[in-house]
Structures are given as structure tokens and as C-alpha cells.
Structure 1
């Protein structure tokens, strides 16, 4: 006897209403094979086992349709809220329920804001005081200060040679206008005018690249004719990005041409800073 075809097995289920055990006895197929062939075919009603909570589920659906909330349904039926939610989650909530919940959340937020208002005011005042004291510590910056600060900024944020790839040139990419302004002052202290480097904006495609280019040029006093074509990064819809809106201007890329000796100078300053701080210094490979 040849094996039955999939259509024959499915007919025994859908038309004749046989159980898996009866189909196995009729066809001689194994259990796993029968289940595989019956995938997607619902079992006949007579094979379903009664569920003690079927009546409660039906009642939960009725209550939801009448406008009851999930907590109300759970309380009335004596079940957990999670169970009630699973039973009625496919049913839409009433629009006024959403409004009620939104109003409740707003009231809770207002109460929390009022409760923490004094603490936040005290914290903000303490922060402002620390800022003021720290500002007096900085004082004026001379050339030596700018050289050391700029070298440290570059070593943290700029491109560096690797042991396996020497690339001794100065390029820095960042989105902080204050840090970039400090680095430009460092370059000027090293004899590199702002008209020497080339500039480029790196920004997501959802933003206005031309407007960002204009913003950076004005913000840092850079010559517009030194800007190259922006680098546009492809947007990934699944990525949750917070750098959006009117305050998002992307990153600015500062590239200093013919800057090998300047890179070596930065490398040397960092090595000496590390040595005096008790570190191991920087070797010829930039490590």
C-alpha cells in the first residue's frame, strides 16, 4: 500500500473529522508526520478539551465590549489583571478611557513636579554655584594653556595612527561647537589659520545638510568656500535617535592638509604629559 498524499490526510481531518490517532490508524503514518501534514488545518470541534475558564473568558469579552476597564474586569471575575488583559487585549479600549488615563498621568506628573520642586531648585542653585567657582579657577588662557588643551582634545577625539597603519595627519570630528572652537584656537596657536583646513558636515539624511553647513560656518566663523560636500549618513528606522530636531546640526569634520609635522608635535606633547603624569607615554606608533 502506497503512502497517502498530503491532500488525502488533510481531507481526513477537514472533511471526515478524524482525530490524529484515527488518521494514524487509517494511514499508518507516524505522529510527527501527521502533525506536519495537518499544519494549518484546525482540529474538529469534538476533539477540543473543555476549558474551565471558557465561560469567564466569554464574560470578560462581554464586559470589555460594555466599556469596562481591565482592572474592573479582573475584580468582577476574580482573576489576575494580567489574565484579564490577555483575554481582552484584542478589543479596543474606549476613547474616553484613553483620555481618562492621560488625565491621570498628567495629574500624577504635576503632583511629582510640585513635590520635587524645592529639591530641584536647591540642586540647580548648587550647580550654578559650582559653575561660578570653576569659572574663576580657569582665568585667562595663554598660548601654553591652549597648546596643552588642544593636544589633549585632539588625542581624545581626533584620528590617530595605528601600529599597523601609519597615517600621520590631523583630522578631528565632533558635534560640540565649544570643543571645536577650542581646537580651532589651538590650531591658530600652532600657526594654522582657519582658512587653511577643509571642513565637511557629517549628518543623517533626515536632516538639512545645507542648512547645517551654513550653521557651522557662522557658528565658528569659518570660510564657506572651505566646506566640501556633506557626508550624508543613511537613516535606520529601527534605531532610536535623539539627535533630531532644530538643534541637530550633525558633526563637523576638520581636516588639516600637510599636517604630518603638526601631528608629530601633538604626539610629542601628549607623550610628555603622560610621562609627567606617571604614565608610560606614547610610542612612535601613536600608542
Structure 2
């Protein structure tokens, strides 16, 4: 039985399909084929997927899309990435803003636990070869420094027992860093201890340079062994509580 007559009639898509395959044989990429013929990339791929590019053709395609001579490939890539970055940054800002807004306030108990965990992550801890149990917290993030100072106030530390010291690379502006940190923590710069300068190593490539680099602030508390012991105990308690079946999150499936 002969096939229906309509199946043998010329079809405009047949011409497009043949043209797409011809372009592919000329080592054109799927996006290039789609753009030239005004068709969807998925359609172009379906029509030419059985015509792979050889190694030389792939190299030529890469060179074409990344050519700094014509700049066309670079502009096309930049346009695609600019749109993607804008969408990504918008989603990121939305997530950050939403998470920040979910924190309405902190009770003193919450602040103390947060401060203890922060210290155990970033602060100096006693070691078998150095059993000193003294509160010393070092960080370059002014926000975390302010949270830690709020923690110290919450546990009853007197301001007069707190020492500040800036640690910064010797090639940076140490005096400006002291002024910056003094303003951040609301302290007179004259009470800051002598700045600790880090030796410059020309072999190390550093990115923390420029006007936004202020080094780290070292916050030490004199006669703080009891505070240290309390911090260690709180951390043990939090770790123990997080491992209980009643912890506020489900365990990962085994």
C-alpha cells in the first residue's frame, strides 16, 4: 500500500533541516545553526546531533567563540553571563535579606551560647603543650568582633579588663587601622596595645590589600580563666544537645 500523498509533499522544515545539517558539516556550533536559521537550539541539536565535530573543528569553534580579534564570541559570552549574574545576584540578595530579617532579636541566653561557639571556632584554645586558659579572640570581621564584645558584656566582663591589639601586615597603614578599629569598637585608640606587624613575604600573593584592608583585631581578657572554663562547658553542652534524638533537626538518612 502506497503511503498517503501528504507524506511525500515538500515540507519547509525539510529544507531547514537540510540547511542545518549543511551548516553543521561546515563545523558550525548548535547555537550558531539555531541563530542563523531562526530556530530553537533544541531543534537544531535534534537535527544535527548525529554529525559530531572532529577535534580540529572543535578547536576552531572554541577559537571563534573566544576570539579577541573580532570580539563577537567574547561579547556573546559576556552578554549571556551578565544576564545570569544579574539573576544570580538578585536571588542571592533576596536570600540574604530574608535570612537577616528572620532574626528578630536575641535573648541573653542565646547571645551567650552564640558567643561561646564563636570563641571555640575562632579563639585561642589551651593545648597539651600550652595549657594557658585565657580568652583571646582574633578576627578581621568587625561584625563578629562586635558580637563577641556583646557576649563579653553579657557574661559580666568589665571593660577595664579588655585589651585591644591590631595585627596587620607591615606594608599596610598600621595607624589608620588602629583608628578604624577604635571607631568600630567605640574605644579610645590610646588604650590599644602596641600593634603586631606581620612580616612581608614577597613570595606570597596577597589579595587583602587596599583601602578596605584593616588587619585583624585581637581581643584579650585579663584574668579570664573562669570565662574560658564556662565557654568550654557551654560548647560541650551544645555539642551534646545537638546529638540527642530531641535535637531540632532530623538526622540525615542512613
Taking structure 2 as the reference length, the TM-score comes to 0.65
Distance 1:171 1:195 in 2: 15
Q: 1:205 aligns with which of 144, 167, 170?
A: 170
Q: Would you say 1:183 and 2:173 are equivalent positions? A: no
Indicate the SS of the match to 1:201: strand
Q: Classify 1:117/1:229 alpha carbon distance in 2 versus 1 (closer, same or farther; 3 Å).
A: same
Using the TM superposition, give the Cα deviation of residue 105 of structure 1 relative to its aligned residue in structure 2, in angstroms.
9.8
Is the 1:203–1:231 contact (alpha carbons within 8 Å) kept by the matching residues of 2? yes
Q: Would you say 1:118 and 2:83 are equivalent positions? A: yes
Indicate the SS of the match to 1:138: coil
Using the TM superposition, give the Cα deviation of residue 261 of structure 1 relative to its aligned residue in structure 2, in angstroms.
0.5
1:183-237 CA deviation, whole Å, 9 max, x = no partner? 0110111112444311111111110111100100002212323201101111011
Q: Would you say 1:146 and 2:111 are equivalent positions? A: yes
Using the TM superposition, give the Cα deviation of residue 248 of structure 1 relative to its aligned residue in structure 2, in angstroms.
0.6
- The alignment of Structure 1 onto Structure 2 pairs a total of residues equal to 179
Q: Classify 1:194/1:109 alpha carbon distance in 2 versus 1 (closer, same or farther; 3 Å).
A: farther
Distance 1:198 1:211 in 2: 19
Q: Aligned runs of 1:71-90 on 2, under 5 Å?
A: none
Q: Classify 1:107/1:148 alpha carbon distance in 2 versus 1 (closer, same or farther; 3 Å).
A: farther
Q: Would you say 1:223 and 2:194 are equivalent positions? A: no
Q: 2:205 aligns with which of 240, 246, 249?
A: 240
Q: Would you say 1:155 and 2:120 are equivalent positions? A: yes
Distance 2:114 2:80 in 1: 43
Q: Which has the larger radius of gyration?
A: 1
Using the TM superposition, give the Cα deviation of residue 275 of structure 1 relative to its aligned residue in structure 2, in angstroms.
1.1
Q: Aligned runs of 1:124-135 on 2, under 5 Å?
A: 124-135=89-100
Q: Give unmatched runs, 5+ long, in structure 2.
A: 1-67, 245-254
Q: Would you say 1:169 and 2:121 are equivalent positions? A: no
Using the TM superposition, give the Cα deviation of residue 109 of structure 1 relative to its aligned residue in structure 2, in angstroms.
5.3
Distance 1:202 1:106 in 2: 46
Is the 1:197–1:255 contact (alpha carbons within 8 Å) kept by the matching residues of 2? yes
Q: Classify 1:106/1:160 alpha carbon distance in 2 versus 1 (closer, same or farther; 3 Å).
A: farther
Distance 1:261 1:105 in 2: 69
